[in-house]
Amino acid sequence: MLAGFIVLMIACLFQGSFGLGMKNYRPFSWEAFWIIFSVIGILLIPILWTGIEVPGFLRYILATPTWVLAIAAACGFLWGISAIWYGKGIDSIGLSLTVGINTGVGCSLGSLIPLFILGNIPAARSLTWLLAGMAVMIVGVAIITRAGILKDQQSKLEITRVKNEKFVSGLLMALASGFGTAAMNIGYTYASRASALAVADGINPVSASLIAYVIVFASGGFISNIGYALWMLNKNHTFSDFSRPGSSFAWFKALLTGCIWFGALGLYAKSTALLGDLGPVIGWIAFLSGALIISNAWALKTGEWRGYERPKKVMLLGNVVLVLSVAIVGYANGLA
């Protein structure tokens, strides 16, 4: 159990940090950055990592019922659309606010639904504390969202501030991205049937957990992301971005972002295996809330809240509430 939480904390660090790569990737356009990110993070890294740990993993996927694969791929496609909104949300309203709203929706839906899919409802006392932890989590996210709104209101009152014309659309994209985040966890829950086949064949459960992500991402997830990015590249005539002067650092940033992004999810998958049957439920909450706290720390360091003293205090309060929610969920885990 302890090893599972350690791996989970590392996953949180990666998940809370990869968004930095989406804040400034000039001279690339958004679509040029997203194509590299998609090919590396969503397609190649998951396949290569899984292939190293589970040689011949494809046979377990082929042995999985077609309807299971179809549901997992559909969830991956929905997640792919949400990932686009997530990236554009960071572009529009910043890292901390986008991650906060995404976390609230994704944590709630992505944690409760797998409980029923797995058919592993914990005892009443444990479930009560788990739901209480989720409620506190939502309150924390609401406080952080409020901080972002206060920040936007202050910027509109100060003449020297650059007005954010994309604030409302950014909020909506961040909100919509949370539904896709939940879809990813649901798809992973279904795709875990392929991982179970590998475990039954003697594969280490911690390594077998990666197979589920290949199913979700390399199918529907990759199709929606790469399809939209290619369409934007053609629409905006930005194919030349890949060879623009000074683009070498943008290439590096896109590659690194893709690696860190799937590194977070790959480690999260391993942590769910180490945490046991309720890993997809309890681990999911801790993963999202921990990543949110780290992303806000990065937002402070990079100056997102510089000059916004009152909104910053509200944001910090929200993080304290999130820490409390993780503690409650940990207690619920101890009762399970």
- How far from 142 is each of 167, 175, 207, CA to CA, in Å? 17, 12, 36
Q: Which residues contact 260 (CB under 8 A, 6 or more apart)?
A: 14, 17, 18, 21
Question: Can you give the residue ranges of every domain in the chain?
Answer: 1-18+26-155+164-335
**Crossing angle for the helix pair 66-93 and 222-236, to the nearest 10 degrees:** 40
Per-residue pLDDT of the chain (336 residues; tens, 9 = 90+): 678 888 888 999 998 998 888 877 888 999 999 999 999 999 999 999 999 999 999 999 999 999 999 999 999 999 999 999 998 888 788 887 888 778 777 766 666 666 666 566 667 777 788 788 878 878 887 887 788 788 878 877 765 555 566 777 887 888 888 878 778 878 988 999 999 999 999 999 889 989 999 999 999 999 999 999 999 999 999 999 999 888 898 999 999 999 999 999 888 877 877 877 666 566 767 787 788 789 888 888 888 888 889 988 998 898 788 778 767 776 776 665
Answer whether 269's CB lies under 8 Å from 187's CB.
no
